[in-house]
Structure 1
Amino acid sequence: MRPEDVVELRVHGVSGTPPEAMLGDPFPTPVAGDDVARFLRAGKPARALSSGRTRTVEAFHWGRFTSGGASRALWLVLIPFAILNLARYTLLGAGRFAEAVLRLLGLVLTCMLVTSVAYVSLELLVRQCAGTVACRAANLGFFDGWPFGAMLLVGMAPPLLVITTLWWFGRQTFLYEPKGTHHAWETRSGSLGDYAFWHTSPRTPVLRDAHVAAACVMVGVLYAGALRTEQPDRPSDVLSWSVVGLGVLVLSWAVGCVVMSPDRRKVNSRALKWASVAYLLVAAGAATAFLWRLPTDASAGVTPLAGFEAVTNVLGALAMLLLIVLFGACVHLRHSARGVELMVADKRFRPMWHGYAAVVIAALATTLAVGFSGGLAYRVVEWVGDPVPDAGRQGLVLSTSYLVGAGLWGVLAIAFPLLVAPIVAAMVRQVSSAILFAAGSVVAGVAVALRWTSVPGWVFWVAAMVAGMLYAIGAVSCIRHSVGAAIREGVLADYPGRPDRPGIRKVAFNQRLASAKYRYHWLLGAMALLGGVLVAAGGGVALASLAYPDWRSAAPSGLADWLSSWLSSRPAQDLGALGSLVVSGLVVVLLLLGVRTWQSPSMRTAVGIVWDLVAFWPRLAHPICPPPYGGRATIELTSRAVRLAGHHDVDAVVLSGHSQGSVVCFAALSLLRGESERPDPADGERYIRQADAVAALRRVGLVTYGSQLQWAYSRLFPHYLGHAELARLHDELGDRWWNVHRLTDPLGGPVQVWAETADEPLFAGQKLWGFRCGNDVRLRDPEFLDPDPDMVASPLRGHSDYYDDPVFDEVVARVAEAVSTPRTTVVIGGLALSGDRIGP
């Protein structure tokens, strides 16, 4: 077979591997695409050493969609929005109610961000700091002599900047205009085989405009509430409530758009956006005019502006309530027909977190959003003064929700590190060490609590020493039992010979660490559980504050006494300071990473990896998250495969996907299959003609390696990439789909190992290279341990360099052969893919 008869299309993973490294050619030739989606071809054909089969190799480099742009890394500070958008695709089926709840929760998170910025600029800096002589002189001296109304106008700049940034980021897209007229989604939830699913959804612009409108309304309502601030000549409450009522009407319009999520062709969302902007200008103008001469010469603290406490508490309570409602919606989905169908699968393919992945991920996003909001407010207060829960004390009055939120993040900052060690030990199946670490964490938690009691100091040190001893014993146990007996026996079976050879322990240790990938979600689930409990606690306090708005002065049943004393206690202050410090540090680190990406390409790639993982899916739960690259990558790869099979008449096109690239390849094949099943429209204009899709599908094969399709994606996104979808593609492709993996790979694993079949050893000459089970090939890593004077030493590759393994070329060659003889079972024999030894 000539090299031009077979083309291997290599697709890299989230690390954005350069095409030069993918092709092993320092000067590849560009053959298609543009400067962000490039197809490059190696100068020399690749050759399978055993059979002599040759092929042309092309690299599809999509890393510039996310990893390639420095400005895109600045999305890091908005990571809660991206995580929430991800939660939408983890639902068990098309749950319209659950999707609506997620969209509402996303709207609340957007309002939290804008409200926290407005709270800091208008309430803390302008009213409480610039409104008093001492604080203004110490921190905001440039405001001397300014009327209070002018200060309010300046205070509007930060929230307006945030709103403008959200609007600008939300409208960004890296997709080209559609190539055909097929735009309507086949189903409301979408599918990988639907071209319209991969294009910009017509619902996303409406959702974006609704978020911008809600943000404008929140700031306007805060200005309207400020009109009720106590002053001798303040306007009648009728004006304030009228402006608030107008804002509620506009907000209801925005909420309706979020809940219904209509198509942009069915609703004029631009009118909503500009109406909200006009409302903000009216509310800000009224507050500025009526509060222009509000006194700013107070010597002590001033009364906070009205409305700010209520708004922040409402948002905290709504976040809690929506998480509870989302949990109920997920319970309904889990017991629906689709949910039952997904949950009865083999335990290796069941959805993560027992089908409640959407709740877990949404709780994580909410925890981060609440922490960012509370941490920002708390840090600003500590910068200009001391946070206090009420106006009767020296310092700046901080909203209850922010005080509680910062304190709860302090609890999270203590509790989560204590949980990491036992959970990680359990993830690698070191039970005794996990028990010791868990005991040490409990004692350490008790020691921390003792610091806030009146017990003698030596009690704390005794508890700390006991915790340290338990951790030390657990660490020793980890080191002594770092290699399990079963794993060690498996390694010895792969590398027969003396058990004490150099390298055996290292290979076994790496295999044990890599096995933790099946339990990565334990750590994420623990953080989400802690965060969810803390968000619920904060929401409960917010609800109590809303039920008794005058708790600071006189609250029924002693609520004011308890809440005020607790918020003023030393534990609450220490936890609040710690939580604020942790959150502020996290935000600063994210900002520094974003700035650093402007100067360092390697850092740009590392940061881009985060977005490659969260920005694959369209923006449907939250419109203000990284522009999705999945659609562009899928469409470009499918178009190239059709072009090669049709226009260039290539006999076999082998899609070759590494890690995240395997997901892109899977989506491209799903899209190609969907186009082959869809008749051409009457006007004949569409993305791919049906005849071309059918012809291309017959000439396409698939090789995946280092893939997360089975252990991660099929379990995290069961509705889109579940076991049934994998099995369907496997049945259609047969021997045209092979997967390659290593036991030392911490990210990749088997994909098609469903039947319980025995491993067949694969030989190359006298050397054992790997094992075959079904259509999965497990490579040994390293390829050999014993020194060989005629061979280059084999490194431990883990998740990288699959192209360099001797079996890889043979796998691609066999897939190409299966494509050339469709639906014919390939008898695996010869050098690399046979259980029969070659040679004497």
Structure 2
Amino acid sequence: MAQDPELAGVTELRVHGVGGATPAELLGDPAPRQVSGDDVAGFYRTRDAGGRHVEAYSWGGLTSRSATRILWLLLLPFMLANVAGWMCPRTLPGRRVLFAVYRAVVRWAALALTLNLVLLLTAIGSGYAGYQCGGRAGCASPWWLWPLAWPGMAESAGRRILLGAVVPLAAIALLALLAQTSRRRYEAVAPPVQQEEGQVGAAVREGPAVSAAALAGGMADPWFWDGHDVAARLSRAHTSAAIAFLAALIAYTGHAAGPPGWPAAYPLALGLAGLTLLGALAALAGDRLLERLEPWLGPASWAALAAAAVFAWTSAAGPGNRVSETPGLREAITVFYAGFGLTVAALAVVLAVAAVTGGGQGERGFRWGAPVVVVALAGIGLNLVLIGLLIRVSDVLGAIVYGYTGPATLGGEPVIVVFPMFGQVMAYLVFTPVAFVAIVLGVRFVRLLRVPSAEVETEYRGREAGEQPQPGPRRWYVSALADRAWALGVARARWVSGSMRELDLLFTGLALLGVALLAWAQWRFGQAGPPPPLWLVTVGAAVASLIPVGFLAALRLGWSDAQNRRMVGVLWDVGTFWPRCYHPFSPPAYPERAIPELQRRMWWLHDNGGRVLLVGHSQGSILAIAALLQPGCLPSGGRFALLTFGSPAHKLYNWAFPAYFHDDVLSVLAGARCWVNVHYLTDPLGGPAFSSARPAVDRLLPDPPSSLFQYGQPYPPIGGHGGYWIDPAVWKEADTLAATLTSDETPGVRG
């Protein structure tokens, strides 16, 4: 690639927000020239403007530009578990022991989600397809079940259970493969850490890798975005625990389904599996333990699986056509969900202790218990989809009955016996939260309709009194206030913007409702009683099983729409912003690559006599802030200025992640560099960077800029979140910051 034509002087480096804006859109140039990077994420340059070079960092290929990358949404529960760990209270990271306990408990909750996936996939593959369908005459006739028709399968429950375990084992292998390939693409990019004699190069960490969440310096630590080793160890620990758990399920259900007896392989498999699971729990308690214990977890888990396979394959033939639920599965489900509930309860206790003994929270964010709420939502969503899939698969295999023992066929179809608990979950867990959300949104919509417009009308009338629009004389302009709907639209946009931080009430209500329904279903699991209406179960299962497909299809069809892409993208990009320190199977964190690349580009410009004006919009502003917060990854004496607009630093990140985005952290950045943050009252995502007034940084611009418009033209539009790019006032701030970089009075910034 050809060298940049000119690097000295001021370079305006633009970083876009969510939605994957193209370099042409960022630079207003149909054919910008790529000067660094690749097709996924790269730097592009256009013609100089305003006395400075103009570049853009296009990182959309890391998150949204590829149509296939939308499939990462299938890992949404794991992403939520990873995000939950980063949502700790502000004061918690400063309390070393309690924060270590917190990190361990969140990691255990994240592991529970992985095991939850294995449990329900084992129920589908080994329980319903293998044990039940394989033992029913004529049930294993479809081509995709042909291995269950092999000689000797119908008479051996253990072999059918073992064969069905291919389903969860394939899922484990796929998750491990995705984690490995994404680590090579994202986490393998080393941060540009300052070395001896001012040289920069591939960073070499001294000592063992430490989780980014455990670093005392937070995002300012130069190793914060170097998560490859920790993510790899977490991935191997989760994989080992999942294989060991699968081995335990095979051995336990195979023994329960077979004839009495204790073959040597049975206690060996259970013992190795239990030891591996305990080792995984211990390893996840800390990075040092993870480094020491993780190497033996893999061999132990495979040994447990081999012992379980030997036991299941060689055990004496059990009953072949007994019509019943899968033996042993009820006990496994009961014990697992009890353990999952205790883990979430332990997390709540840790947060309660932190709240009682930790002093003030600081700026108000998520009201309380954000990690518990998000972990609960992750578990509810995962179980909802998988239980719906389980019922749909059972319906394909035969005639579903709940808690039934009787003839092997019903209406000419083989009977598939499903736990009543699953029917109760499908009957109520789908429709009750939907009704709750509908009620909450209905109340909010009524409040939106009742928003007054008097304040907006008064504000813009005051502006009109001293305003002289340009170009042309005043007589050619009329006021949009003549139409009350215009002022009402502005007032409603401001109301929506100001109420975004109230979403925690909706999330908390959903979590409490879902947990209560699951607890009730678990309690009814061992109770005798009438099952829910069959039609309600059938419809609920169909809806739940189609949720992932419908979600992906809707997003794929709407991905070409900029507004839809922006609203979905901001939630997704926030969720994948944080390193995979809690759940290794969550989608990759794009800043692991984007931030080091951004820092290296600034370093390259500095070494060639350049000074950088970093311009970030929306999520791009978060990348810019995170890059500048790491002085150890920036050149000593570097001259930088920062312009952010539509930044969610306070409205979203301080609300959800108060321990990592708060006034004290950002004050360090504001005091060391020239920083201006522009925002509108109508922006639903962006806002001021600080909770308290910081006029030196935060600039509130009117939106729309004026209520006057030329006769015959459209009303002044509301800029909202995307209007900054065409607002002259924003680029006036950019010109001022660029001028300060050329002034000798501007203090240098030492990295």
- Please give the TM-score of this superposition, normalised by the length of structure 1: 0.75
Q: How far does residue 175 in structure 1 lie from its aligned partner after superposition?
A: 3.5
Given candidates 176, 184, 187, the residue that maps to 1:175 is 187
The residue number in structure 1 matching 2:725 is: 803
Aligned length: 694
Q: Are 2:171 and 1:162 aligned?
A: yes
Structure 2 Cα separation of the partners of residues 544 and 189 of structure 1: 45
Structure 2 Cα separation of the partners of residues 739 and 193 of structure 1: 20
The residue number in structure 2 matching 1:376 is: 389
The residue number in structure 1 matching 2:372 is: 359
The residue number in structure 2 matching 1:486 is: 455
Structure 1 Cα separation of the partners of residues 353 and 88 of structure 2: 11
AA partner of residue 726 (structure 1): L
Structure 2 Cα separation of the partners of residues 602 and 747 of structure 1: 13
Structure 2 Cα separation of the partners of residues 243 and 323 of structure 1: 28
Q: Are 2:184 and 1:244 aligned?
A: no
Q: Are 2:673 and 1:653 aligned?
A: no
Q: How far does residue 258 in structure 1 lie from its aligned partner after superposition?
A: 1.8
The residue number in structure 2 matching 1:669 is: 628
SS in 2 for 1:42: strand
The residue number in structure 2 matching 1:273 is: 298
Q: Are 2:47 and 1:87 aligned?
A: no
Structure 1 Cα separation of the partners of residues 442 and 332 of structure 2: 40
Greater mean deviation of Cα atoms: 590-599 or 715-724:
590-599
Structure 2 Cα separation of the partners of residues 778 and 260 of structure 1: 44
Q: Are 2:649 and 1:709 aligned?
A: yes
Does structure 1 retain, via aligned residues, the 8 Å contact 2:22–2:58?
yes
The residue number in structure 1 matching 2:685 is: 747
Greater mean deviation of Cα atoms: 629-638 or 779-788:
779-788
Change beyond 3 A, Cα 1:492–1:320: farther
Change beyond 3 A, Cα 1:659–1:500: closer
Give CA deviations for 1:373-403 in whole Å, capped at 9, x if unaligned.
Answer: 3222222233332240343687433235534
Does structure 2 retain, via aligned residues, the 8 Å contact 1:182–1:195?
no
Given candidates 243, 247, 252, the residue that maps to 1:216 is 243
The residue number in structure 1 matching 2:96 is: none
Q: Are 2:31 and 1:27 aligned?
A: yes
AA partner of residue 648 (structure 1): N
Structure 2 Cα separation of the partners of residues 392 and 175 of structure 1: 55
Q: How far does residue 814 in structure 1 lie from its aligned partner after superposition?
A: 1.1
Change beyond 3 A, Cα 1:538–1:752: closer
Give CA deviations for 1:38-67 in whole Å, capped at 9, x if unaligned.
Answer: 111112x223xxxxxx22111011111122
Change beyond 3 A, Cα 1:390–1:589: same
Structure 2 Cα separation of the partners of residues 141 and 88 of structure 1: 41
Give CA deviations for 1:259-307 in whole Å, capped at 9, x if unaligned.
Answer: 234376x32524312331232132123212225x4454x3xx6233332
Change beyond 3 A, Cα 1:217–1:400: farther
Q: Are 2:637 and 1:695 aligned?
A: yes
AA partner of residue 207 (structure 1): L
The residue number in structure 2 matching 1:468 is: none
Structure 2 Cα separation of the partners of residues 274 and 488 of structure 1: 71
Change beyond 3 A, Cα 1:637–1:111: same
Structure 2 Cα separation of the partners of residues 539 and 139 of structure 1: 39
SS in 1 for 2:52: strand
Change beyond 3 A, Cα 1:491–1:621: farther
Does structure 2 retain, via aligned residues, the 8 Å contact 1:71–1:598?
no
Q: How far does residue 350 in structure 1 lie from its aligned partner after superposition?
A: 1.7
The residue number in structure 2 matching 1:463 is: none
RMSD across aligned positions (CA):
3.4
Change beyond 3 A, Cα 1:350–1:819: farther
Structure 2 Cα separation of the partners of residues 707 and 285 of structure 1: 58
Q: How far does residue 495 in structure 1 lie from its aligned partner after superposition?
A: 4.7
Q: Are 2:567 and 1:613 aligned?
A: no
Does structure 2 retain, via aligned residues, the 8 Å contact 1:85–1:622?
yes
Change beyond 3 A, Cα 1:753–1:543: closer
Structure 1 Cα separation of the partners of residues 557 and 709 of structure 2: 43
Does structure 2 retain, via aligned residues, the 8 Å contact 1:492–1:504?
no
Written as runs of structure 1 = structure 2, the 5 A alignment for 1:757-772 is: none
Does structure 2 retain, via aligned residues, the 8 Å contact 1:206–1:263?
no
- Please give the TM-score of this superposition, normalised by the length of structure 2: 0.84
The residue number in structure 2 matching 1:417 is: 437
Change beyond 3 A, Cα 1:487–1:399: farther
Q: How far does residue 619 in structure 1 lie from its aligned partner after superposition?
A: 0.4
Structure 2 Cα separation of the partners of residues 390 and 261 of structure 1: 48
Given candidates 342, 350, 361, the residue that maps to 1:329 is 350
SS in 1 for 2:86: helix
Q: Are 2:672 and 1:732 aligned?
A: yes
SS in 1 for 2:11: strand
The residue number in structure 2 matching 1:838 is: none
Does structure 1 retain, via aligned residues, the 8 Å contact 2:17–2:618?
yes
Change beyond 3 A, Cα 1:5–1:790: farther
Q: How far does residue 621 in structure 1 lie from its aligned partner after superposition?
A: 1.0
Give CA deviations for 1:223-251 in whole Å, capped at 9, x if unaligned.
Answer: 111333355x5543775444323321121
Change beyond 3 A, Cα 1:541–1:417: closer
The residue number in structure 2 matching 1:565 is: 529
AA partner of residue 290 (structure 1): S
Q: Are 2:121 and 1:117 aligned?
A: yes
Structure 2 Cα separation of the partners of residues 788 and 544 of structure 1: 68
Written as runs of structure 1 = structure 2, the 5 A alignment for 1:327-726 is: 327-337=348-358, 340-341=359-360, 343=361, 345=362, 349-354=363-368, 356-383=369-396, 384-391=398-405, 395-399=415-419, 401-425=421-445, 433=446, 479=449, 481-495=450-464, 501=481, 505-539=485-519, 542=522, 551=526, 563-566=527-530, 568-570=531-533, 573=534, 575-592=536-553, 610-645=571-606, 647-650=607-610, 652-672=611-631, 675=632, 693-696=635-638, 699-726=639-666
AA partner of residue 176 (structure 2): W
Does structure 1 retain, via aligned residues, the 8 Å contact 2:617–2:645?
yes
Structure 1 Cα separation of the partners of residues 294 and 579 of structure 2: 19
Q: How far does residue 218 in structure 1 lie from its aligned partner after superposition?
A: 1.8
Paired-residue identity, %? 27
Give CA deviations for 1:427-467 in whole Å, capped at 9, x if unaligned.
Answer: xxxxxx35xxxxxxxxxxxxxxxxxxxxxxxxxxxxxxxxx
Give CA deviations for 1:1-49 in whole Å, capped at 9, x if unaligned.
Answer: x995221111011111111111111111222223333111112x223xx
Structure 1 Cα separation of the partners of residues 560 and 19 of structure 2: 18
The residue number in structure 2 matching 1:5 is: 9
Q: How far does residue 708 in structure 1 lie from its aligned partner after superposition?
A: 0.7
Does structure 1 retain, via aligned residues, the 8 Å contact 2:233–2:294?
yes
Change beyond 3 A, Cα 1:140–1:640: closer
Change beyond 3 A, Cα 1:70–1:277: farther
Change beyond 3 A, Cα 1:423–1:695: farther
Written as runs of structure 1 = structure 2, the 5 A alignment for 1:68-87 is: 68-87=65-84
